[in-house]
Chain A
Amino acid sequence: MASPITVYGLGLGGVNLVKSPLEMDDNEVIQAQNGEPYNDRGRFGLRKRLGLQRVVPTGTVAPSSAGGSILGTLVIDDPLGWASPIPSEQVIITNGYISTDGGTTWTTYTPDTGSVSATPNTLYNLATGYDSTLSPQFPPVWLNGLYYMGGTVTGQVIVASIGNAALGQNPHQLYSREATRVSGTGSANDTVILPGVYRDYTAETLDLGASSWLVVQVIGSGGTNTRLSIYNPTLGVTYTLPAFSDTTAVTGSYSLGGWLFVTKGLSLFAINLNTRDGSETWQTLATVSDTGIAALTGLAALSSNPYTLLAGSRTSSTQPVRVYAFALTAFALGSTPAVSGTTTAASVVQTVNPSRIFGPFPALSSDARLSMVYQGTAGTFDTLIGSLANAETMAGASWRILTFDGTYFHNGVDTSSDNLINTVWGGSSTRSPGPIANSGGRMQTMYTRYTLSGSFLGESRRVAPTVGWGTTINGGSALPDSFWVFPPVLLF
């Protein structure tokens, strides 16, 4: 018997239709339909080619047709500096008021179930599934996305998704019309609260890179105690934190150095998430002794040396709004942060008299580190604010946004004088609920018809009034030449 014909690396010689059989190399072929050369770890030959899959821009967005035969395509792989493909002049609103003329007139609006289209200067509803009860009082804005509850809600029992995201397309724009479900692993009574972030504070968290996490809580679902989950849509990871011992809701969160701080009831809790190995437990750092409030709301950082976290107090129209400061000491990796100083009513740093307050949340300004939105009733600010002489009389049922720099509340326009209390945004309730507001427990978001430049995150924006919102402020006085906008974006 002659030596067998041995053909290894079949096909690597490619297709040859020119040579005679006598001349052809053994590894040449006459046809290699859907075959391609393959060479890896010493294995070489011809393999079935890779499958053609529709391009999915991200892992969570379904591909869609361009709507016609594609005649050409070009990728802009460095879109920084390019405008968003989403019209920049738009409003996202989920319930309450809607304007279809760029903010001139406002009417009540009930969200429909349709997705949105894109036409500049038109207001849009977020996509389906918004639930007014379970969604946060104001939307967490995180990673250029607006997060809110979504999915099918049946009697507040079933929530099909953790959160929906309205993704912005570039730093110039907070919101977009595109609402996209980011996860389908939520459970009953999930509530998206604030986003947290755990960066590469230590080597233990390097695996997270610069990605951050959305904090989701499960409040007393099925009689169980309050539990938080953190969800990272980038990594597609959900991590469930230890449960609390009761069903009291978590009302605010803030992340710092791999720790997650939350307000719950009248207490400030913290948990070390640097390892997330199952051994972490909630630490009770402080409890506010103030019988005049029901719970702390919101959590934000006031200063970084030492870290001082601020929490507001939920109140009724007959109760004052108070802000409490928690000064963190001994804050270092591996140690449990402690709170120094009093956190009782004596440490209330501000009292106002609104009917509702939302926040506090960080403002995007180096000199104004805390903002809140409130709906005021007729009355005046308490003059506890320093030596402020000209406390402002609030119009009835107006929505205001305040910022706080540690000494004064102010509007960001004039921080040098004592004329600091002012409304930045707002109007009568018959027109606009304000940039971030709450109406009947429902979420409303801001009017974004402004033109910005540069990076949005990390700093405030001076906005030209000509493209701003409304024409009057504070009882008819003209808008200032410019004013600051403090969107509810957390500083990561």
Chain B
Amino acid sequence: MAAYTVIVTNTGVQILGSSGTQTTLALPTGVTATGLPARFARLNNRIIITGCVSVPIWLGQDLQLRVLALPTPTSAPVLTTAAGTYTGVRKAAVAFLLRDASGNILAESPLGPASAAVTFTAQGVVIGSLPVPLTGAPVTDRRVYLTTAGGATFFLAFDVEGITTTSVTTSIADAALSTVSASVDQIAAPADLDLITVWKNRIFGRSQLDLVVGSTPARIDQWPNSFPVDQGTDGVGITGFLARRDELGIGRRDKVWKLTGSSETDFALVKEIDGKGILAPGSCLVIRDIGYFLGDDGVYSWGPEGVKCLTDATVRPWFTTDTYFNRAKFPNVFAGYDPVAHRYRLHLANAGSTVLDRWVDLDIESGKWFGPHKSAAVTDFTAATVAPDSNSVLRAVIAASDGYLYAPTPGSATDGASSAIDFDVLGKFHQGMTPDDTQIWLQASIFTSHESAGTLTVTPTVGDLTSSAGTPLSHDLTKERERLPRVGVGRLCQLRFRENTAGQAVQLYGYELPFVRAGRR
């Protein structure tokens, strides 16, 4: 399937074509890259990009990047008289327009200040001092609104092409004005818009830390929706959004709110849970109408049954101790979805590391966790997405600081060109009949898939929980079943399975571990 990939780097925005062609897109004038994570939202074939740029921008189908918020005219037009036929008292106001090369209107700014009212008696209406945008502003044309005689409501009159003309004359009658009045929804997107998402055919995002702002349906230039959420309660503000089918989750570090309703007439803000919230904006994902996010002590889900912790009963120490991960980096972690394996994948920093060089998988179907995983080839993951492969199958794609995109690839047992994947599995401590007894651990049988070559190292630890590992044993991976030498004597026995050779696949089905009771000492 043909596809384009939008890639935001610390140097700008690029498009990767399906044939591998890379094209750098020019940032709009005055817009600079921030080096921060990019946030995307796609609505009506327009891709809004925030975070990684100094002001929100959007990408259109013409592959042009433009500033999201059109400037609002700051000066009022001046009405004077000329020869013409109009009679009445009128005012005028002007909005800026942005059109594409085909003339389609892409965006309109809010109305600028209104002119003073002027009385015309069988005269032409000269609309002078038309506001002109600053150089580089995303404005191509201007739109003139006029009132009817004696009225206060502005109606669309006509567009003035270009941005240089400063005066036009018209005798347009009141009846010839558009019946469409200037929209009260024509509120520009905030310049600090961030953490954007799409919900109910609208874009929602964060502004001023505590404000949820939203556009009108299918529009990116009208932002009338605004909902303050616990304003001023901390210095972090809103930390993430979870756009489920009927509810928009809004997270702070210690709370989750939700926005319900279906339109501006019935949107309502309701608190979902207190005491737990979203710690990492990048960890927020909605998969099959269930939201997932990283809280301060684990990964949580948010669905019809409310907010539930998914890690307390299994891997809570990953998130509550400093043994496994650098918890200081938790606010910076991000998550991805592997649609083939149906897994929520959370990228984290190893303990002592400052880059996201580890990841863990939640197998959503079983609710089990796997990991922590690492790669010798890719040591700093930066973003994740889902993309179709050549068979149009959606696959997980992970971006890295080396500027490449990576994907888990069937048939590959190597990371990158030649890096081995360090398969390292540590089983439970077996206690035999009772942990109080000393056991004689006999010859273990290992069951694996048949491989053409390779060796799986099996390292037993026999004795106590703190005993040192014993002598490593080798399992021939060309054999589906192999009996290893006797393991040892002790109360407990644990087996560790490791294979770290490039290109070597391993499928470990299980093992049998015979033992006899030696006695109680």
CA distance A22 to B447 in the complex (A): 24
A34 touching B410, Cβ below 8 Å: no
Task: Report yes or no: B435 in contact with A21, Cβ–Cβ below 8 A.
Answer: yes
* Complexed CA–CA distance, A5 and B445 (Å): 10
Which chain B residues border A64 with CB–CB below 8 Å?
A: 20, 22
Q: Does A180 contact B (CB under 8 A)?
A: yes
Determine the residue in chain A with the shortest Cβ distance to B11: A68
What CA separation (Å) do A18 and B317 show in the bound complex? 7
A56 to B17 CA separation, bound complex (whole angstroms) = 11
Segment among B77-85, B168-176, B226-234, B377-385 that sits at the interface with chain A = B377-385
Give, as a whole number of angstroms, the nearest-CB distance from A59 to chain B.
Answer: 7
Residue of A whose beta carbon sits closest to that of B340: A50
A59 CA / B515 CA spacing, docked (Å): 53
Rounded to whole Å, the gap between the CB of A484 and the closest CB of chain B is: 21
Q: Interface code A56-72, partner B: CB below 8 Å = 1, 0 otherwise?
A: 11110111111111111
Q: Identify A31's interface contact among B384, B402, B424, B504, CB under 8 A.
A: B424
A70 x B428 contact (CB < 8 A): no
Residues of B within 8 A of A48 (CB): 413, 421, 423, 499, 504-507
Give A417 to B2 CA distance when docked, in angstroms: 44
| Residue among A32, A65, A82 making CB contact with B63, cutoff 8 Å | A82
> Which residues in B have their C-beta under 8 angstroms from that of A389?
none
Instruction: Kindly identify, within residues 54 to 74 of chain B, every residue whose CB is under 8 Å from any CB belonging to chain A.
Output: 61-63
> Would you call A50 and B408 a contact (CB within 8 A)?
yes
Contacts of A378 in B (CB 8 A): none
Contact partners of A65 in chain B: CB under 8 A = 402-404
Whether, in the assembled complex, B95 has its beta carbon less than 8 Å from a beta carbon of chain A, the answer is no
Decide: A38 and B507 in contact? CB cutoff 8 A. yes
Whether the pair B37, A72 counts as a contact (CB closer than 8 A) is yes
- The interface bits of chain A over 143-156 (1 if a CB of B lies within 8 angstroms of the residue's CB, else 0) are 00000000000000
B370 near A36 with CB under 8 A, answer yes
Within 8 A of A (CB), among B4-49: 4-12, 14-24, 35-40, 42, 45, 47, 49
Docked-complex contact A67 and B14, CB < 8 angstroms: yes
A70-B366 contact given A6-B512, A76-B4, CB 8 Å threshold: no
Please measure, in the bound complex, the distance between the C-alpha atom of A84 and the C-alpha atom of B3, giving whole angstroms.
Answer: 11
Hey, which chain B residues are within 8 Å of A82, CB to CB? 4, 45, 61, 63
Most chain B beta-carbon contacts within 10 A, residue among A21, A59, A71 = A71
Tell me how far the C-beta of B482 lies from the nearest C-beta in chain A, rounded to whole angstroms: 15
Chain A residue numbers with a CB within 8 Å of B62 are 83
> Chain A nearest CB: distance from B388 CB in Å?
5
Proximity string of chain B (383-413) to chain A, C-beta cutoff 8 Å, 1 when within and 0 when not: 1111110100000011111111111111111
Given A10-B510, A47-B508, A72-B39, check contact A66 B16 (CB 8 Å): yes
On chain B, the residues within 8 Å of A75 by CB distance are: 3-6, 385-388, 397
Q: Does A30 contact B (CB under 8 A)?
A: yes
B366: contacting residue among A37, A52, A72, A85, CB under 8 A: A37
Closest chain A residue, CB of each to CB of B34? A71
Q: Is the CB of A36 within 8 A of B425?
A: no
User: Is A16's CB within 8 Å of the partner chain B?
Assistant: yes
- Cβ contact of B19, chosen from A13, A32, A167, cutoff 8 A: A167
CB A43 to nearest CB in B, in angstroms, measures 6
Contact A14 B9 (CB under 8 A): no
Q: Is the CB of A18 within 8 A of B375?
A: no
Q: Does B485 contact A (CB under 8 A)?
A: no
Q: Which of B317, B367, B385, B421 contacts A74 (CB 8 A)?
A: B385
> In the complex the two chains form, what is the Cα distance from A17 to B312 in whole Å?
10
CB of A14 within 8 A of CB of B4, answer no
Contact indicator A85/B382 (Cβ below 8 Å): no
Chain A residues, Cβ within 8 Å of B37? 71-72
Using known A-B contacts A57-B20, A69-B403, A167-B19, determine if residue A9 contacts B383 with beta carbons closer than 8 Å. Answer: no
Min CB distance B433 to A, Å, is: 6
Interchain CB contact under 8 A, A26 and B428 = yes
**When the two chains form their complex, are residues A54 and B416 in contact, meaning their CB atoms are under 8 A apart?**
yes
Which A residues, 24 to 51, have Cβ-Cβ distances below 8 Å to chain B?
24-38, 43-51
Q: How far is the CA of A6 from the CA of B447 in the complex (A)?
A: 11
Q: Is A477 interfacial (CB 8 A cutoff)?
A: no
* A77 interface residue per 8 A CB criterion: yes
**Residue among B4, B14, B40 with the highest chain A CB neighbour number at 10 A:** B4
Q: Is B341 an interface residue (CB 8 A)?
A: yes
Q: Is the CB of A72 within 8 A of B35?
A: no
* Given known A26-B428, A38-B507, A50-B412, contact A2–B316 (CB-CB < 8 A): no
Contact of B21 (CB < 8 Å), options: A14, A33, A85: A85
**Could you say which residues of chain A place their CB within 8 Å of the CB of B408?**
49-52
Question: Does any Cβ of A come within 8 Å of B1's Cβ?
Answer: yes
A18 with B315: CB separation less than 8 A: yes
In the complex, which residue of chain A has the Cβ closest to the Cβ of B435? Answer: A22
Distance A61 CA – B18 CA, assembled complex (angstroms): 9
Closest to A69 in B: B401
CB-based contact A71/B8 at 8 Å: yes
- A70 with B400: CB separation less than 8 A: yes
Let me know if A81 is at the binding interface, CB within 8 A: yes
Residues of A within 8 A of B513 (CB): 4-7
Interface: A176 (CB within 8 A): yes
Within 8 A of A (CB), among B485-506: 492, 499, 504-506
The yes or no answer to A55 lying at the interface (CB within 8 A) is yes
Q: Counting CB contacts under 8 A, is A387 at the interface?
A: no
Whether, in the assembled complex, A8 has its beta carbon less than 8 Å from a beta carbon of chain B, the answer is yes
For the complex, give the distance between the alpha carbons of A52 and B422 in Å: 13
Residues of A within 8 A of B375 (CB): 52
How far in angstroms is the closest Cβ of chain B from A383? 44
A4 near B514 with CB under 8 A, answer: yes
Is A15 among interface residues, defined by CB-CB distance under 8 A? Answer: yes
Q: Are B401 and A70 in contact (CB under 8 A)?
A: yes
Question: Is B286 among interface residues, defined by CB-CB distance under 8 A?
Answer: no
From A6, A50, A167, A451, B510 is in contact (CB under 8 Å) with: A6
Interface residue from A45, A63, A66, A85 paired with B508 (Cβ < 8 Å):
A45
Interchain nearest-CB distance for A381 vs B (Å): 39
Contacts A53-B416, A71-B38, A72-B40 given; does A33 touch B424 at CB 8 Å: yes
B373 at the interface (CB under 8 A from A): yes
- The reply to whether the CB of A337 lies closer than 8 angstroms to some CB of chain B is no
Contact of B383 among A38, A73, A453 (CB under 8 A): A73
Say if the beta carbon of A470 comes within 8 Å of chain B: no
Indicate if the CB atoms of B425 and A68 lie closer than 8 Å: no
B195 is an interface residue with CB less than 8 A from chain A: no
- Let me know if A169 is at the binding interface, CB within 8 A: yes
A475 CA to B97 CA in the complex, in Å? 42
Chain A positions within 8 Å of B447 at CB level: 8, 45
Residues of chain A having any CB pair with chain B under 8 Å: 1-2, 4-18, 21-22, 24-38, 43-59, 61-87, 118, 167, 169-170, 176-178, 180, 451, 453
The contact sample of 26 A-B pairs, CB cut-off 8 A, is A15-B370, A21-B465, A33-B425, A35-B508, A47-B507, A47-B508, A51-B408, A51-B416, A52-B375, A53-B414, A55-B397, A57-B18, A58-B20, A63-B20, A66-B16, A67-B22, A69-B400, A69-B401, A70-B405, A71-B35, A72-B38, A73-B7, A73-B384, A76-B3, A85-B23, A167-B19
Given contacts A66-B9, A67-B9, 12 further A-B contacts (CB under 8 A): A4-B442, A4-B515, A14-B314, A31-B424, A36-B341, A48-B499, A51-B416, A52-B408, A69-B9, A71-B382, A75-B6, A81-B45
Closest 8 CB pairs of A and B: A72-B38, A14-B368, A61-B20, A51-B412, A68-B9, A70-B399, A65-B403, A85-B15
